[in-house]
Amino acid sequence: MRKTTVLGGVTLAFAASLAVAAPASAAPANDGAACVQAGLGTLKSLGLLQAAAQQKVDYSTLADPVNGPIYAALPAGSYLSLGQVVKLHTTNPDLFAWCR
C-alpha cells in the first residue's frame, strides 16, 4: 500500500510541476497526434518503449528544465504510466524537445 501512496504522490508532484512549468497548449489535434508519435518514436529509439509500457522509466532522468529533452524539474522516482505520458504530449507538448 505504501508503494501505491508514494507513486500517487510522485504522479501528483509531476503533474503539478508540469502545470507550473508550461501552460496547456492550444495546439490543434493533429499537432497533438504528431507530438505523441514523436514521443513514442523517441522512447523506441532509446530502447525504452517496453519499459515505459511497464511503468519502469524514471522520467526524472530525462528531465532538465533548461536543456531538456523533457523541460521540467522532476523528482527522482517519477515513474508514470505510458497513458499519462501520452496525455502530457497532447496537453503540454512544449515540455518535450521532440514536440517543439
Q: CA–CA separation, 30 vs 17, rounded Å?
A: 26
Coil, strand or helix at 1: coil
pLDDT, tens only, 34-78: 999 999 999 999 999 999 999 999 999 999 999 999 999 999 999
Mean pLDDT of the chain: 80
pLDDT band of 29, cuts 50, 70, 90? low
69 φ, ψ to 5°? Answer: -75, -15
Task: Compute how many other C-beta atoms are within 10 angstroms of the C-beta atom of residue 2.
Answer: 6
Residue 98 to residue 5: CA distance in whole angstroms:
31
Look up residue 21 and give its amino acid.
Answer: A
Residue the block writes with cell 496525455: 87
0.85 cut: is pTM over it? Answer: no
The C-alpha atoms of residue 47 and residue 44 are separated, in whole angstroms, by 5
